[in-house]
Amino acid sequence: MYDVCIIGGGPAGLMAAEIAADKKLSVVIVDAMPTFGRKFLMAGKSGLNITKNQNKQDFLGNYYNAEHWLTPIINNFDNEAVMNWAQDLGQEIFTGSSGHVFPKTMKASPLLRAWLQRLANKGIKFYHNWKWIGWEKNLNSFDTKGGKEFIKSHTTILALGGASWSRLGSDGLWADILKNHGQEIIKFKPSNMGFKVQWSKHMKPFFGKPIKSVRISSGKFSAIGEFIISKNGIEGSGIYAASKFMRDGHRLMIDLLPDTNINALNEREKLLPKKASKSTFIRKVLRLNKEKTALFNEFSQNISKQDISITAKNLLIPHDGPHPIDEAISTAGGIPKNALDHNLMLKSKPGIFCAGEMLDWEAPTGGYLITACLATGVWAGQGAANYIKKQS
């Protein structure tokens, strides 16, 4: 019999485990995969951006519709707390020019190893290759290589992730289990993902090439960034940041010349002979590199010379919707906030808490995802401890 059983060994689950252990509670943490933190390690392959050094108001604004209810949770374990957490685990950090915070090693593995060792030193019990399949007679039930196993605990914290990158453990199958217990689940949607584009044969030489220093706009989003032309469409940080708005039906507009205003382009145009060809106009007025020129030509085939400059500042990129959800970095949807009490406990199942990406919120990449996972893990861990204290 444990005080707390945590199901899911990602950042939210591990943080909840540590908080509960620090409250002198007996803790077991279980994961379906052979090792913990697999998606965390994958994030570390691109540098592990753990948070962003940014003022509170701007930081919290990146949680969109969930900002209101996530604000006290993140303020309780904010971006500064995330930085301190990494340093306490022996990882030196640095802040990049855009405010993004990384470990100096630029890897997740040293941080994860140090964290797991610290948790083990606190007496936390670990089980791997145990797949949660629900409850049986109020016990947590698991499929294991040795058959069905059960864990009895005073409280349970579910930190089972979203529905992307299923090969790393986040398969979203827990949603069906909770639905069978009458729990409402908001349908999963991809977040931070690429989009499908049907390219002409002329774009093939540019597959894998970056489009840098452009203004990317969709809905309420507008920022300077970059993206990649891929065989199947467009992807990369700039597209991920706009992806929520694109997914929700807003058009994608690209300003290929964000540092050059339309008046400057008009002045260049005046220097051209009136009979200058369209290709000459593009070359001498827009002055784009070959990747941007190819993108411009792909989506401006039927415009007149008079519209070239304004189109380059407002290039519409049509697409065929997002890449499949399993290719997304994260997901929206999951357990709605109205199904949870203030402590992230399911109203329909007292003693069952939820944390991390399985909750219905989303955020762009850039440290916001990891920060919220850690913060909700802290909150759920504290909630479970408070619940046990009240029951005793």
pLDDT at 294: 97
* % of the chain residues with pLDDT over 90: 91
Give the pLDDT mean for 302-321.
Answer: 95
Q: What is the pLDDT of residue 97?
A: 86
pLDDT for residue 44: 76
Tell me the mean pLDDT in the region 377-382: 98
Mean pLDDT, residues 271-278 taken together: 88
Please determine, for residue 207, whether its predicted confidence score (pLDDT) is greater than 90: yes
Domain assignments of the chain as residue spans, ordered by start: 2-190+331-391, 195-316
User: pLDDT for 211-243, tens place per residue?
Assistant: 999 999 999 999 999 999 999 999 999 999 999
The pLDDT assigned to 45 comes to: 79
385 near 19, Cβ under 8 Å? yes
What's the whole-number mean pLDDT along residues 174-198?
A: 97
- For 40-67, what is the mean pLDDT? 92
Q: Give pLDDT, residue 46.
A: 75
**CATH top-level class for 2-190+331-391?**
alpha beta
pLDDT category of residue 9 using cuts at 50, 70 and 90: very high
